[in-house]
């Protein structure tokens, strides 16, 4: 038997869940593996399957030294099943079963609910790999190319994480769901991914960085909520996934930061003070700040939809059941049952946006979304410090939560980025100020030229402050097979 902190690397599937002693689950995963590899080759990073990529691989689950760096061909990446160590005597931290021992097996009465949570989380992981599969061709540097692939292989591992739970705890249903996770594809008209933002295109690197900044952050919030789960295997799985997720946040935040920095530098060199002089800024071959703002508006609003309806009985049920908690549930000091509490929710009432106190249990989606917005704002503030230091009179800001929504309270209305409701004609007339236009996409696309020379960066993005794994600036992160 392996204990939870040592990882068994000898078999086909690296793991710290004792697969060697669990023939049924090992066979199920080994049977699933060829289909996964086939999916990776056909739906994963296009054109780089034989390249040697300098990647980190998880080799432990302790706080220190959990990853090892080295060159690897992506199809040979050691995707594994890794759970954070078990904490002895853990109890269910919230809901109707609060205080009871955490479940090591699926509680029968919540089986369907739990399976649904795993499938929805699992579906997002391969979806983003699919969305990003064409980006390798236009990477602005070796460093960025490597980061893209790091995110991709880890999303692949996150799929493994959910598939393990499905195969281990859900028998035949779990096997079928695991196959379905490979069968649905992002943007496929017949078999799309389950959630809207995961069927959108990621056509360029500005989109990629926005996606990792906003949409991966939704992932982070969901994982935090699931890490609190009373179903202990899910909690341990998500806790380990969060260690990987931090790098995805880093890629998005610093990606946009470097774009802003480069735009500021180019404007300064050219003596342009007015950030809204889009035409002139674009002639410098950098991305103008209003376009960055519009992209942020788009990705923020798409990501808010992922949190679901503000008021939701389903959210109340999964909390009550002890399956999905709140962000940092274990640091909150209320009764963790919420039967008598309320929470403020922005609602649409008689054609106006108003704040209303709603039973706390029903507004858990809203609460997680608020935590997401707060987390996002910290990153935006760091982008704005670049603008401030450069002395440029422009700040990126988040649009109002009612802006451009398809789900929840504001799905049926048009609101501008300040939350002012408008009729259809006004919305159509003003849309191009608030969301990227076809012309904006064309311009960004025109900048997307691959930069393969180690240490060189496309003109529209600044180099990072430090290399990955402390590597020097001209390090060859990706050895492209010729």
Residues of this chain that bind Fe ion (CB under 5 A): 125, 155, 158, 216, 219, 248
Sign for the pseudo-dihedral over CA of 403, 408, 414, 419: negative
| Residue (of 482, 289, 312) closest to 396 by Cα position | 289
Burial status of residue 453 (CB atoms within 10 A of its CB: 0-12, 13-18, 19 or more): exposed
The residue among 155 and 409 lying less far from Fe ion, judged by its C-beta, is 155
The residue among 244 and 305 lying less far from Fe ion, judged by its C-beta, is 244
Q: Smallest gap, in angstroms, from Cβ of residue 149 to Fe ion?
A: 13
The residue among 130 and 155 lying less far from Fe ion, judged by its C-beta, is 155
The residue among 220 and 367 lying less far from Fe ion, judged by its C-beta, is 220
The residue among 49 and 243 lying less far from Fe ion, judged by its C-beta, is 243
For residues 455 and 474, give the distance between their C-alpha atoms in angstroms, rounded to a whole number. Answer: 4
Q: Report yes or no: 444 and 206 within 8 Å, Cβ to Cβ.
A: yes
Q: Smallest gap, in angstroms, from Cβ of residue 45 to Fe ion?
A: 15
The residue among 94 and 205 lying less far from Fe ion, judged by its C-beta, is 205
The residue among 222 and 417 lying less far from Fe ion, judged by its C-beta, is 222
Which pair of tokens denotes residue 243?
A: 């260690």
Q: Smallest gap, in angstroms, from Cβ of residue 247 to Fe ion?
A: 8
């Amino acid at each position: 038997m392996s204990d939870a902190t040592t990882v068994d690397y000898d078999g086909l599937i690296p793991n710290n869940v004792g697969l060697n002693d669990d023939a049924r689950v090992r066979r199920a995963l080994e049977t699933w593996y060829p289909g996964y590899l086939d999916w990776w080759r056909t739906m994963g990073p296009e054109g780089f399957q034989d390249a040697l990529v300098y990647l980190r691989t998880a080799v432990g689950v302790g706080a220190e030294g959990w990853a090892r760096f080295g060159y690897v061909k992506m199809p040979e990446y050691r995707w594994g099943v890794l759970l954070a160590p078990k904490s002895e005597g853990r109890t269910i931290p919230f809901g109707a079963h609060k205080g009871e021992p955490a479940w090591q097996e699926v509680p029968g009465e919540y089986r369907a609910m739990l399976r649904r949570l795993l499938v929805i989380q699992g579906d997002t992981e391969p979806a983003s790999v699919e969305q990003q599969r064409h980006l390798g061709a236009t990477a602005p540097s070796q460093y960025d190319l490597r980061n893209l692939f790091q995110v991709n292989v880890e999303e692949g591992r996150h799929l493994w994480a959910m598939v393990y739970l499905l195969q281990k705890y859900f028998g035949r249903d779990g096997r079928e769901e695991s196959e379905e996770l490979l069968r649905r594809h992002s943007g496929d008209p017949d078999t799309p991914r389950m959630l809207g933002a995961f069927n959108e295109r990621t056509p360029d690197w500005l989109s990629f960085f926005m996606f990792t900044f906003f949409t991966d952050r939704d992932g982070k919030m969901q994982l935090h909520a699931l890490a609190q789960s009373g179903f202990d295997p899910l909690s341990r799985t998500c806790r380990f996934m969060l260690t990987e997720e931090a790098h995805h946040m880093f890629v998005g935040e610093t990606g946009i930061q470097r774009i802003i920095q480069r735009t500021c530098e180019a404007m300064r060199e050219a003596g342009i003070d007015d950030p809204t002089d889009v035409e002139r800024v674009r002639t410098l071959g950098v991305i103008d700040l209003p376009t960055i703002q519009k992209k942020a508006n788009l990705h923020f609003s798409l990501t808010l939809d992922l949190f679901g309806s503000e008021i939701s009985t389903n959210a109340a049920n999964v909390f009550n059941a002890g399956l999905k908690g709140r962000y940092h549930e274990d640091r909150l000091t209320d009764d963790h049952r919420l039967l008598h509490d309320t929470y403020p929710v922005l609602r649409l009432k008689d054609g106006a946006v108003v704040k209303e106190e709603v039973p706390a249990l029903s507004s858990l989606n809203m609460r997680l979304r608020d935590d997401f917005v707060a987390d996002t704002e910290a990153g935006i503030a760091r982008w704005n410090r670049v603008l401030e230091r450069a002395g440029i009179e422009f700040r990126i800001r988040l649009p109002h939560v009612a802006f451009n929504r398809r789900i929840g309270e504001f799905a049926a209305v048009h609101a501008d980025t300040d939350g002012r409701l408008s009729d259809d004609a006004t919305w159509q007339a003003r849309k191009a100020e608030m969301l990227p236009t076809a012309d904006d996409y064309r311009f960004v696309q025109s900048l997307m030229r691959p930069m393969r020379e180690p240490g060189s960066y496309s003109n529209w993005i600044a180099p990072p402050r430090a290399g990955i794994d402390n590597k020097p600036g001209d390090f060859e992160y990706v050895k492209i097979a010729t």
